[in-house]
A and B are shown apart, each in its own frame.
Chain A
Amino acid sequence: MSILGTRVVRTEDPLFLTRGAVYTDDLTDERLTGALHATFVRSQVAHGQVRSVDTSAALEAPGVVAVVTAADLGDLAPIPAGFPFVPAGVSRPWLSDDRVRFVGDPVAVVLTEELYQGEDAAELVEVDIDPLPAVVGTEAAARDDVLLFPEAGTNVLSSFGEPAPADFFDGCEVVVRQRIVNQRVAPVPLETRAAAAAWGDDGRVTIWCSNQAAQMAKGEIAAWLGLDPARVHLITPAVGGGFGAKIGADPEFALIAKLAEIVGRPVRWSETRSENLIGMLHGRGQQQQVTIGGRRDGTIEAYSLVVDQDAGAYPRIGVVLPTLTMMMAPGVYAFPKVHAQARALATNTTSIGAYRGAGRPEATAAVERAVDLFAAEIGMDPAEVRRINLLPAFASPHRTSMGATYDNGDYPAALEKALEAAGYPELRAEQARRREAGEVRQLGIGMSVYVEITGAGGEGGGPTEDASIEVHPDGTATILTGTSPHGQGHATAWAMIASDQLGIPIEDITVVHGDTDLIPKGGGTMGSRSLQQGGAAVHQAAGELVELAKTRAAQKLEVDPGDLVVDVALAGLAVRGTPGVGVTFAELAGDEQLLVRTTFQAAAPTFPFGAHVVVVEVDVESGKAEVQRVVAVDDAGTILNPLLADGQRHGGLAQGVAQALLEEVLYDADGNPQTSTLADYPFVSATELPSFELVPMATPTSMNPLGAKGIGESGTVGSTPATQNAVIDAVAHLGVRHIDMPTTPMRVFRAVQAAQQEGN
């Protein structure tokens, strides 16, 4: 029986559970012996002009070896914008001696012998900054009266699409408009950013950093520092979560390498959480204008989404994420007319990057909210409106008006499964009872139906990935993968794929990742791509290894290669119809290295889909919402290991609920962060979540031989709007139509108050 599709516990866990994984800050590598500790001095002003940076007192502090400022970096060019469409004049200083653009912009770095000395000395660096008016929020940015990059002439860093034609909604019986905030959130992987660097006598630098994409990070660092990539060896040790915020290099990583060169000693850095919450990329941060029109019979005829993306101070992936939001704007619906338009604006805040879902949850949140608003306006059950407007099931690719090609899908079935598992009619009956009784705790039922795009990226931007497999003479095997697990369990999953084809037990298969000397090419782990590309590459490599082994075994056994079959019990090849005659892969490896390297090329990205139903209770006297149930149908094609796939769903669901209910990065009007510790940033904890009710559904894709779609982000894409819709639904009978995320108690309470005043 195949191991594929079965519940296999992780091979990496015994180490994680007994000694702990080795993260960047845990490294005791001998190349880091005597490493100095770097402590960043960061701007505490959101927008300003640096007048002076006085390091003299800090230089006198115990243990200080150097205090590095812009002046010490010589002719190192500023970091380029990185996107061709960003206006000229936009670049990023390594350490600013001119303009600072967000609270957290690095100004100097203190290097000390010991960790504790770093904070003591950093306090002594005197930074004098003349404040400028801060640009906070996209509305202020769009006015262009204060510019972050005067040379660029505008705060608009990118724009996509055109305005909707004036007659776009002509003929609709009903048109509903709503401004929606998809708020800025902090990814908060439990491991903050960390990096270390050491230069060798050979002129090469070894950089360790916490990252989801070693090869990409290496390329960026080499380019920024003007180094021949051959001189950079980048290693990602165990990575304590990423969620999109650890894709590719941050400037700090490259700077650590530069500092090690300047002082001629290894340097290491592990940021504090307070530093992380202002320095690491944030996610989401969209202002959306949705307009939805149709007929009173429930048919939706036109939908428009206009996005203003907050890009933060410097362009990162956030300046292109709205294109994914636009692509996925119509989601699962057969709307005859769809319009989408977006732009990204620079503000004096932390830069925006990818966060679980990265552009797609924003699309789903907008359209699922819009459909509910439309349903409320025409007085129809939101499930019914969805039934009327969903695309019917399709087995061959469907091209949308926004240019996406969905591989396959059955959205109506997903919705019906979710409604059935939730007990939808009973829930509505209970809701009606509570409304009738005027109870303090009202029930809210929210739903979403979603489709998202996964596996869009990869090496060179295409859906490809590398893998190699080598079987050793002792019967063990090593897989090298270009993906970069940080919790997903590739060590187990990739071993399962190889084991299934080769018969080598998973415990005897070592999976290596995140070392650019060993694995020069790789796309990393992001965008829910790993199994469908990296796993498929392992699958392909194992198949090629079997073919290579057959060629060699045919010579050794003097049989026709066509007569050889894999004997998984033997972990080798047997001769068809001749019991007892065969050769193990290990024996073949003893004769000659048994190794294959391959590149898998997927046909196209895949489009996982599903439907979520969330049930909340809202205390209408206080406005506090509590999630009672989360029912999730997530169709990610063929499931390799349900234990791991369900784990991905759980985590995704929690992050979606967290955004809808709790989490938001806040700045005051001067650009000062208000949520820079975990005491202030309301990271979701166990007490705010229920256990999840997962409903199976698996429609294999034909885009890869595993039949797999991505599963890493689906939970978040679906649960965010389902939770928000549930909270609003709980108070809909009081006249509330919309509440922005996070649906805080005060917001819910005020929405009820406002609706009642309007109704009076």
Chain B
Amino acid sequence: MIPSPFDLVRPASVEEAIEALVEHGDDAKVIAGGHSLLPLMKLRLAVPGVLVDVGSLRELSYVRVEGDEVAIGATTRHFELERSDVARAEVPLLPHVASRVGDPQVRHRGTLGGTVAHSDPASDLPTALLALGGTVVVQGPGGRREIPVTEFWLGFFETALSPDELVVELRVPRTGTAGWGYEKFTRRENDWPIVAAAAVQGRVALANMAGAVVRATATEEALARGASIAEAAALADEGTSPSSDMHADADYRRHLARLLTRRALETAAASS
């Protein structure tokens, strides 16, 4: 299992990376840690002619407080997020979820920007980001723009990112001591979640319940109305469109969404 041949561009800056994306258009793919892209390329499910390697752009690797938000650079690796004191203090859901991605070797390579741009509906970190709210900062030839996380993930491997744009930063609200919960349901510890639920400050996001990560809006509305956790969680699968596969059929996924939402909300309530 070997990727098809490609040319590798190693830009020295974000600007150079964008220039390369502009030049090569649809034929180019951005690679950072490579742990989403290379497995697809090895199976020849992705066959880019050019890879733009931004993994070594350490200028995009940081976790810092900026006003009411925490700003995280796109090439911040999962293990760096997991260990970040700033993240642990200001937005503890995120480093916890980072610690639940894959296995240690994967966390040593995988980047936040990479998992955000990849848009796998079963991804842990996008689920957490969607529950937290905030924005994806992208940069293209026309400069930077901010896309709310609620508008970023459009479907399976599909985002609001243009081919000549690069994810450069994630901005999430500081949640401080607010309670949070993350429930990831797998058969094996390091599997992708069959379903996962992240809950923080009355918001709930679900993994693997649609073509992209989704908010459990019916649950959120019920909570806002003052419904109990049990009542609200019972609505978690409303509006979702889970698929059936060998791990779980759609009905069982719906059951899990309700169960995991309840547990995540209970954990959040208990920890606030």
| A664 CA / B200 CA spacing, docked (Å) | 37
B187's contact among A273, A666, A745, by CB below 8 Å, is which? Answer: A745
Give the residue name and chain of the A residue nearest to B263 (CB).
A621
B12 contacts the other chain (Cβ, under 8 Å)?
no
In the complex the two chains form, is A682's CB within 8 Å of B4's CB? no
Instruction: Verify if B188 is at the interface (C-beta below 8 Å from A).
Output: yes
B186 CB, min distance to chain A CBs, angstroms: 9
Contact with A along B157-195 (1 / 0, CB 8 A): 000000000000000000000000000010111110010
Name B192's closest neighbour in chain A (CB-CB). A679
User: Cβ of A394 < 8 Å from any Cβ of B?
Assistant: no
B2 within 8 A of A: yes
How far, in angstroms, from A262 to B4 measured CA to CA in the complex?
A: 29
A interface, size bucket: 20 to 34
> In the complex, are the beta carbons of A687 and B190 less than 8 A apart?
yes
Check if A685 sits within 8 Å of B187, measured CB to CB: no
B190, A116: Cβ atoms closer than 8 Å: no
Report yes or no: B5 in contact with A744, Cβ–Cβ below 8 A. Answer: no
Would B44 and A685 count as touching, CB distance under 8 A? Answer: no
Q: Which residues of A contact B4 (CB under 8 A)?
A: 120
The answer to the question of A702 belonging to the interface, with a C-beta cut-off of 8 Å to chain B, is no
Tell me if A749 is interfacial: C-beta within 8 Å of chain B.
Answer: yes
User: Which single member of B39, B44, B189 contacts A687 (CB below 8 Å)?
Assistant: B189
Mask, A575-618, CB within 8 Å of B = 1, is: 00000000000000000000000000000000000000000000
Q: Does B252 contact A (CB under 8 A)?
A: yes
Do A746 and B189 have beta carbons less than 8 Å apart?
no
A680 CB–B CB distance under 8 Å: yes
Q: Provide the residues of chain B in CB contact with A677, threshold 8 Å.
A: 43
Q: Contact at A116–B255, with CB atoms within 8 Å?
A: no
**A691: Cβ under 8 A from any B Cβ:** no
Shortest Cβ distance from A661 into B: residue: B187
Prevailing SS type, chain B contact patch: loop
Count chain B residues whose beta carbon lies closer than 8 angstroms to a beta carbon of A: 22
- A687: which B residues are within 8 A, CB to CB? 188-190
> With A622-B259, A746-B252, A749-B252 given, is the CB distance from A120 to B5 under 8 Å?
yes
Contacts of B191 in A (CB 8 A): 682
- Whether A662 contacts B2 by the Cβ 8 Å rule is no
Q: How distant is B107 from chain A, measured CB to nearest CB, in Å? A: 15
Given contacts A116-B2, A120-B4, A680-B246, whether A662 and B189 have CB atoms under 8 Å apart is no
Residues in A65-124 with C-beta less than 8 Å from chain B: 115-116, 119-120, 123
| Contact call B185/A624, Cβ cutoff below 8 A | yes
Q: Which residues of A contact B185 (CB under 8 A)?
A: 622, 624, 745
Residue of A nearest to B1 (CB): A272
Interface residues of A in 273-304 (CB under 8 A from B): 273-274
**Residues of chain B with a CB closer than 8 A to A123's CB:** 44
Contact with B along A665-706 (1 / 0, CB 8 A): 010000000110101101011011000000000000000000
Contact check, A675 vs B246: say whether CB atoms are below 8 A apart.
Answer: yes
Asked whether A685 lies within 8 Å of B249 as measured between CB atoms, the reply is no
Q: Measured between alpha carbons, how far is A396 from B240 in the docked complex, in Å?
A: 66
- Which residue on chain A has the smallest CB distance to residue B258? A621
Name the A residues within 8 Å of B44 (CB-CB).
119, 123
Is B256's CB within 8 Å of the partner chain A? yes
Q: C-beta contact mask, B34-73 vs A, less than 8 Å → 1, else 0?
A: 0000010001100000000000000000000000000000
Quick check: B1 and A274 within 8 Å, CB to CB? yes
Q: Which residue of chain A is the closest to B103 with respect to CB atoms?
A: A685
- Chain A residue at minimal CB-CB distance from B189: A687
Assuming A116-B2, A666-B246, is B188 touching A688 (CB within 8 A)? yes
Q: Which residues of B contact A688 (CB under 8 A)?
A: 188-189
Contact A119 B255 (CB under 8 A): no
Q: In whole angstroms, what is the CA distance A680 to B188 when docked?
A: 11
Residue B8 at the A interface, CB < 8 A?
A: no
Residue B227 at the A interface, CB < 8 A? Answer: no
CB interface residues, B 239-264, toward A, < 8 Å: 246-249, 252, 255-256, 259
Give the chain B neighbours of A115 by CB distance below 8 A.
Answer: 2
**Residues on the B chain within 8 Å of A744, using CB:** 187, 247
For the complex, give the distance between the alpha carbons of A273 and B185 in Å.
Answer: 26
Binary B-proximity of A729-760 (CB < 8 A = 1, otherwise 0): 00000000000000011100110000000000
| A662-B188 CB under 8 A given contacts A116-B2, A746-B248, A749-B252 | yes
B188 partner residues in chain A, CB cutoff 8 A: 662, 682, 684-685, 687-688
Residue of B nearest to A686 (CB): B189
A659 to chain B, nearest CB (A): 14
Q: A57 CB to closest chain B CB, in angstroms?
A: 15
A688–B247 Cα gap in the complex (Å)? 17
Interface string of B1-18 (1 = CB under 8 A from A): 110110000000000000
CA separation between A745 and B252, bound complex, in Å? Answer: 10
Q: Mark A111-147, 1 if CB is under 8 A from B, else 0.
A: 0000110011001000000000000000000000000
**Assembled-state Cα–Cα distance A746/B259 (Å):** 13
CA A120 – CA B187 in complex, angstroms? Answer: 35
List of B residues within 8 angstroms of A675 by Cβ: 246
Instruction: Name the residue of chain B whose CB is nearest to the CB of A622.
Output: B259
Contact partners of A750 in chain B: CB under 8 A = 252
- Taking CB atoms and an 8 Å cut-off, the chain B residues in 49-105 that contact chain A are none
Q: Indicate if the CB atoms of B187 and A682 lie closer than 8 Å.
A: yes
- What residues of chain B lie closer than 8 Å to A682, measured between beta carbons? 187-188, 191
Nearest opposing residue in chain A for B39, CB measure: A679
Q: Is the CB of B246 within 8 A of A674?
A: yes
Bound-complex Cα distance A685 to B187 (A): 11
User: Could you tell me the distance between the alpha carbons of A688 and B186 in the complex, rounded to whole angstroms?
Assistant: 11
In angstroms, Cα B248 to Cα A622, docked, is: 12
Which one of B190, B246, B247 contacts A685 once the chains associate, using CB atoms below 8 Å?
B190
B189 lies within 8 A of A621 (CB): no
Interface residues in B186-209 by Cβ distance below 8 A to A read: 187-191, 194
Contacts of A624 in B (CB 8 A): 185, 187
- The docked-state distance in angstroms from the alpha carbon of A621 to that of B230 is 14
Instruction: Tell me the complex Cα distance, A675–B246, Å.
Output: 9
CA distance A273 to B256 in the complex (A): 32
Q: How far is the CB of B261 from chain A (nearest CB, A)?
A: 12
In the bound complex, how far is the Cα of B248 from the Cα of A182, in angstroms? 20
Contact with A along B111-131 (1 / 0, CB 8 A): 000000000000000000000
Q: Are B249 and A746 in contact (CB under 8 A)?
A: yes
C-alpha spacing A135/B148, complex, angstroms: 50
CA distance A680 to B245 in the complex (A): 11
CB distance from A466 to the nearest CB of B (A): 40
Least distance between A169 CB and chain B CB atoms (Å): 37
CB contacts (< 8 Å) of B259 on chain A: these are 621-622
Q: Point out the residues of chain A lying under 8 angstroms from B1, CB to CB.
A: 119, 272-274
Across the interface, do A622 and B256 meet the contact criterion of CB distance under 8 Å? yes
Chain B minimum-CB-distance residue to A119: B2
8 A Cβ contacts from A644-664 to B: 662
Name the B residues within 8 Å of A273 (CB-CB): 1
Q: A438 to chain B: closest CB distance in Å? A: 16
Q: Report the Cα distance A749→B254, complex, angstroms.
A: 13
Q: How far is the CA of A621 from the CA of B255 in the complex (A)?
A: 9
> In this complex, which of B5, B39, B44, B256 has the most chain A Cβ atoms within 10 angstroms of its Cβ?
B256
Q: Quick one: closest A residue to B44, CB to CB?
A: A123
Residue of A nearest to B253 (CB): A746
* Alpha-carbon distance between A115 and B3 when the two chains are bound, in angstroms: 12
Please report the C-alpha to C-alpha distance between residue A116 and residue B188 in the assembled complex, in whole angstroms: 33
Closest 6 CB pairs of A and B: A687-B189, A746-B252, A272-B1, A116-B2, A674-B246, A119-B2
- List 17 contacting pairs A-B, 8 Å CB cutoff, sorted by A: A116-B2, A119-B1, A120-B5, A123-B44, A272-B1, A624-B185, A679-B39, A682-B187, A682-B188, A685-B189, A687-B188, A688-B188, A746-B247, A746-B248, A746-B249, A746-B252, A750-B252
Using CB atoms and an 8 Å cutoff, list the residues of chain A in contact with chain B.
115-116, 119-120, 123, 272-274, 621-622, 624, 662, 666, 674-675, 677, 679-680, 682, 684-685, 687-688, 744-746, 749-750
> With contacts A115-B2, A679-B39, A682-B187 known, what are 14 further pairs, Cβ within 8 A?
A116-B2, A120-B4, A120-B5, A622-B259, A662-B187, A666-B246, A674-B246, A684-B188, A685-B189, A685-B190, A744-B187, A745-B185, A746-B252, A749-B255
